[in-house]
Structure 1
């Protein structure tokens, strides 16, 4: 990690916000993600565990998948399962993952690629390592984020976006000490390729040892930072953070993070997933793979799933995406 790299000296720079004009966001909380297992038994860190839903809105759930080095025969995925009412975003850092769904979406992602699935009115899908990786074993590491859909879009037709790592907008911090990959939304006027119903910004930042990253942030969005690797400090308070921790920022128009100067060779940089969005401010009724606004809608989701209205499992293999 990371898969997508670039010479920061040649990229567009994001100027550090003027502190007299853009209020720096303070740190509201830092929480440590507990470990667990997902799907058929692959390890995850539950990034949002213990964080108030109001601080996360419009986000619902996020897992750091892996980081694990599988032996031959060990790689695992998920069985076929349903979703309704939200979007799943899978960002692959190391390894390979395949996706297939009941509405014709599917592909293979690896090394900086993202798959963006809008479940909408209802979908069945599966995520798994390809057969070759199961046979050989190897490194597996990624992030999966759930983004809520507004009431007006919960029954939109399902949709799938295949976002190659090279499509992300690549930017540099003001001094060249950080590489920024804009996956969705925009940062300082530079837009990422992901198309979203709910206005959000999703950025992977790599901050070099000792470097400081200060970027503008939409004051109408919430602001979160998850530490995927490394260590450093965040906010004007310079609050210490390390791998597996989630930062919730308070109000303001700018974010700051600084990478530690003394780091292990295995994780020399501070790797952050910066995310924020416009809160939906609607009731959330969630049970397992369904996220709706009312209990009655959850009951209807179960009935529709059991009646086969989410589509059928396709008989064809997952298409390979170059």
Structure 2
């Protein structure tokens, strides 16, 4: 699992050791297992948030772990052109390559450790596909797509695209050097990631060495989620077992704790954000506050008001799914 790494984790800035007397450990409220499914043209995913109440996820809406899959030649797949409105998509690639194009002129190729952050806002069309050389050769593919809700006041902001290279993320070490942390967005112990967000969130990819334990300071006004993307270990101060494909939801407090199994490393995606606490009506590619707003989004898409497919890509049809 390459993403972005370092030759000497001990040379990195350290996350401060939380005050074990004053800090309140967050309890583990639930651990759920992501069901497997297929997305787009048929690439395998794990539905990370399935079975979790939306109020526990707020401000997050949806997350897929894409792969990990080792494609044979001719097998790599993507998504056709489709619309979005009312939220942001965050695509983080760990292995392999993905190519993004959108109707607002954003896009490019992202690979190991890169992130594409698309604010759909008032509406946009986009497509994500593997590059042609990867289709021909096959190969390993692994990544995530996260949907971040936008508050009512930002639902219809102008679309934008952020191309975040792996080398831009903030690299940190745990106090004992047993874990490597990649801050993609938000702030962790005063260290900011490069992603610019409308909704205050923190997004961190951590790799824990076998047997390592990690306790992170976490904003008490944020929710706290930990998704295991590889390996196994425990979550919470009481050591609840978790493994690949499981999501832990934490309760109130100041710190979150995970630990890797004694015999293997563990990769965890930490997510937290300030809850928006507004009505959510999500249907297909639109996330709005009311059913009427979703219906309006469909009407605007069908009328061509969410953008048009660039001429260079007009041979690929769009779908509202």
**Partner residue of 1:310?**
306
Answering whether residue 60 of structure 2 is matched by residue 59 of structure 1, we say yes
Counterpart-to-counterpart distance in 1, 2:290 and 2:24: 37
Distance across 1 between alignment mates of 2:167 and 2:59: 27
Residues in 2 aligned to 1:274 and 1:3: alpha-carbon distance in whole angstroms: 15
Residues 41-71 of structure 1, C-alpha deviation per residue, up to 9 Å, x if partnerless? Answer: 0000000000000000000000000110111
User: How many angstroms does 1:200 deviate by?
Assistant: 0.0
2:275 to 273, 279, 289: 279
* Residue 316 of structure 1: how far off its partner (Å): 3.0
Aligned to 2:111: 110
Partners of 1:234 and 1:150 in 2: CA distance: 30
User: How far off its partner does 1:2 sit?
Assistant: 2.8
Residues of 1 paired with 2:35 and 2:223: CA distance?
Answer: 23
Q: Distance in 2 between matches of 1:306 and 1:11?
A: 50
Residue of structure 1 aligned with 2:290, choices 291, 294, 303: 294
Measure how far apart 1:21 and its partner are.
Answer: 1.5
User: Where do residues 8-27 of structure 1 align in structure 2 (5 Å cutoff)?
Assistant: 8-27=9-28
- State the alpha-carbon separation in 1 of the partners of residues 311 and 100 from structure 2: 14
Cα deviation 1:61-111 (Å, max 9, x = unaligned): 000001101111110000000000000000000000000000000010000
Alignment of 1:15-164 (within 5 A): 15-164=16-165
Displacement of 1:22 after TM fit?
1.2
Q: How does 1:211-250 map to 2 (within 5 A)?
A: 211-250=212-251
- CA deviations on 1:92-140 (whole Å, 9 max, x unpaired) are 0000000000000001000000000000000000000001100110101
Structure 1 position 261, deviation (Å): 0.7
Q: Which runs of 5+ in 1 are unaligned?
A: 264-268, 318-322
C-alpha displacement of 1:315 = 2.1
Q: For 2:116 and 2:274, locate their aligned partners in 1 and report how far apart those are by CA, in whole Å.
A: 22
| Cα distance, 1:15 vs structure 2 | 1.7
Q: How far apart, in 2, do the equivalents of 1:3 and 1:59 lie? A: 23
State the shift of 1:195 in Å.
0.1
Q: Give the distance between the partners of 2:237 and 2:73, measured in 1 at CA.
A: 46
Aligned to 1:133, what secondary structure does the other structure show? helix
- Aligned-residue Cα RMSD (Å) equals 0.7
Q: 2:174 aligned with 1:178, yes or no?
A: no
Q: Give the TM-score taking structure 1 as reference length.
A: 0.96
Q: Distance in 1 between matches of 2:238 and 2:214?
A: 14
State the alpha-carbon separation in 2 of the partners of residues 95 and 121 from structure 1.
31
3-state DSSP of counterpart to 1:49: coil
> Which residue does the alignment assign to 1:266?
none
SS in 2 for 1:14: coil
SS in 2 for 1:258: strand
Matched position secondary structure for 2:312? coil
CA distance in 1, matches of 2:312, 2:209: 44
Q: Give CA deviations for 1:299-319 in whole Å, capped at 9, x if unaligned.
A: 1101000000011101236xx
Distance in 2 (CA, whole Å) between partners of 1:316 and 1:195 is 29
Q: Please state whether the residue corresponding to 2:253 is helix, strand or coil.
A: coil
Q: Secondary structure at the match of 2:297?
A: helix
Task: Report the equivalent of 2:4.
Answer: 4
